[in-house]
Chains A and B, each alone.
Chain A
């Protein structure tokens, strides 16, 4: 039984990583007042390019760097066409999603001739780390040890971003821009710079999220329900729940990961239909977001 619980805890930490990373990115753009709808497309881009380059150069760093560079470029472009050309940021996000599904399937065909997915068994995988101190404690080591280093990085980034958002001038400026661009610019805060910064951060985080999806297994699946599997949308729910608090991102992403893990276990042991399992995180997100919105509204009316 202990084995079982440890396995379960291990799985949902692993499940949560991409969602944590991209929700953090979404939160940054949400804080600057221009939520990024294109995270699904960004993650597809990064998942594809990081796997491709990791395989091409046989180096994990090259793959990761390429994935992140691509998504940062996309983020900068979104911010640019939003700020300078006045395109609605939601339209830009939708366009990135369309491009993400189209361009990746197209490139897969051009490069490999196969339809929709690529598998590189020889591509370098993410290293699994054993934690030095925690790894020696019985039971706990089965849960916290042996994750990929991106899993640990995600948790560290949560803490780092919590400090950046709440304790530094940069974080305060981004939040000020999100609250009111007028007031922020009147106080001498550059609105544009902060929006660009939030999109660069979102690009980096979504890039890591995408890379953690494909570099884990050396597989990329494109299409409408591809590799990302709606994580970009789930991130929206997580951002609504978290508002300005990265720690809530961590726990809600883990909770949604736990839902998937429970579903997987039920599927394996009780023959639960796979489709219901795939549905679970979205239902959970819908319910959680409803409850949160309801409570916030009540608080607003009372206060």
Chain B
């Protein structure tokens, strides 16, 4: 019963987000009917927009998984954006450097480089935590901000492709290593299968493997896990490494789905990944639909921007609002309290 209510409530929250989109569009558009039509139906109106939406969802799914693994272990990896950005860079330049090598060797190496790029930053945070007892939330955030400027510096300096016609970028990933397109008109490519496979794999790994169990126990109750013989410090570090590495891979898929180059601007998919993990309550099975929903919002806003007078930022407002509202059981508690039985609050603290 509780479960049913909870799901119902999450649907309600998402609906209220859409209602908010409606209000925002009605308020600021001169031709609201047109804008609304493109916002809500636009992503499904042609194979191009549909493909673009799913293409946007690919890095979001992977980053959502990355964030949910670290959150499951109660590690607040809030610097995911930095890991995404760094992994993106290492993956892309590795691919560019391997130009001419057989794709069978180069593609795994490219992904490995992206994974390692993200994982190195995680490792640095873990090192600061284990040696200096610096909170991971804090170190990952600071490190992310350092990394943004480091990557900007590298892209604008030594790694800049002088022949690029697309502004300040790195060298492109060679044609041979790009993934096959699925819907020919859009950028959607076969990396979506990698994302889905990762989601399924992580769902089962968290639920049914030993490491998954240890990660969950560490997150649920660290001292209980420690009494049970789990090395919680090590597990937290492993979760952090996987999280950062996956973030890097997510960054690489973003590059593979867009312009094949790393630009000197942030894409925000790391932050979105954190939001997605929070909304899906760290459940890898829910990460996929939530990520696709986020991509739908982004694509809808882009459609409306293209054909009507809306900016793409509408989607960000809605995402923020949904993030604020997503509370599941807590919100239900709130409503029940309203209805009369005002008990002392959850933790027994009278407020």
Contact = CB atoms under 8 A, between A and B. Distances in A.
Interface string A101-127: 111011001100000000000000000
Interface in B122-162: 128, 131-135, 137-139, 141-143, 145-146, 148-150, 152-153, 156-157
Given A191-B349, A275-B149, A224 B320 contact: no
Contact of B319 (A84, A86, A102, A240): A102
Interface string A232-248: 01101100100000000
B321 interface: yes
Contact of B275 (A81, A94, A296): A94
A166 B273 CA distance: 41
Contact of B266 (A87, A97, A103, A225): A225
A182 B157 CA distance: 55
Interface in A270-287: 273, 275-276, 278-279, 282-283, 285-286
B351 A185 contact: yes
B142 A85 contact: no
A258 B150 CA distance: 20
Contacts of A289: 134, 138-139, 142
A237 B137 CA distance: 11
Given A233-B141, A279-B150, A98 B349 contact: no
Interface of chain A, main secondary structure: helix
Given A90-B76, A98-B319, A275-B156, A109 B141 contact: no
B106 interface: no
A293 interface: yes
Interface stretch (B87-95, B200-208, B285-293, B330-338): B330-338
Contacts of B313: 102-103, 105-106, 109
B109 interface: no
A181 B323 contact: no
B330 A95 contact: no
A236 B143 CA distance: 13
B149 A276 contact: yes
Interface in B260-289: 266, 268, 271, 274-275, 278
A86 B337 CA distance: 12
B311 interface: yes
A129 B236 CA distance: 52
Interface string A58-101: 00000000000000000001000101111110111011111101
Contact of A290 (B132, B311, B330): B132
B350 interface: yes
B268 A273 contact: no
Nearest to A100: B320
Nearest to B143: A286
A240 B316 contact: no
B145 to A, nearest CB: 4
A190 interface: yes
**Which among A95, A234, A294, A296 has the highest number of chain B CB atoms within 10 Å?**
A95
A283 B314 contact: no
Given A86-B346, A94-B275, A290-B128, A236 B323 contact: no
Contacts of B28: 110
Contacts of B41: none
Contacts of B349: 181-182, 185, 191
B203 to A, nearest CB: 22
B338 to A, nearest CB: 9
Residue among A101, A102, A181, A236 with the highest chain B CB neighbour number at 10 A: A102
A234 B319 CA distance: 25
B113 to A, nearest CB: 22
A102 B317 contact: yes
B327 interface: yes
B11 interface: no
Nearest to A93: B78
A163 interface: no
A230 interface: yes
A191 B350 CA distance: 8
A192 interface: yes
A225 B148 contact: yes
Contact of A240 (B128, B135, B331): B135
B34 interface: no
B132 A294 contact: yes
A286 B331 contact: no
Contacts of A297: 132-133
Contacts of B138: 236-237, 240, 289
Interface in B181-197: none
Nearest to A281: B145
B347 interface: yes
A291 interface: yes
B278 A94 contact: yes
A86 B330 CA distance: 5
Given A84-B334, A291-B132, A102 B150 contact: no
Interface in A27-49: 37
13 contacts: A85-B327, A86-B334, A95-B324, A102-B317, A102-B319, A103-B316, A106-B313, A181-B349, A237-B138, A273-B157, A282-B142, A283-B146, A286-B146
Interface of B: 24, 28, 76, 78, 128, 131-135, 137-139, 141-143, 145-146, 148-150, 152-153, 156-157, 266, 268, 271, 274-275, 278, 311, 313-317, 319-321, 323-324, 326-327, 329-331, 333-334, 337, 346-351
Q: 4 closest A-B pairs (Cβ-Cβ)?
A: A102-B316, A86-B330, A99-B320, A98-B320
Interface of A: 37, 77, 81, 83-88, 90-92, 94-99, 101-103, 105-106, 109-110, 181-182, 185, 190-192, 224-225, 230, 233-234, 236-237, 240, 273, 275-276, 278-279, 282-283, 285-286, 289-291, 293-294, 296-297
Given A94-B271, A103-B320, 4 more contacts: A91-B278, A275-B152, A286-B143, A294-B132
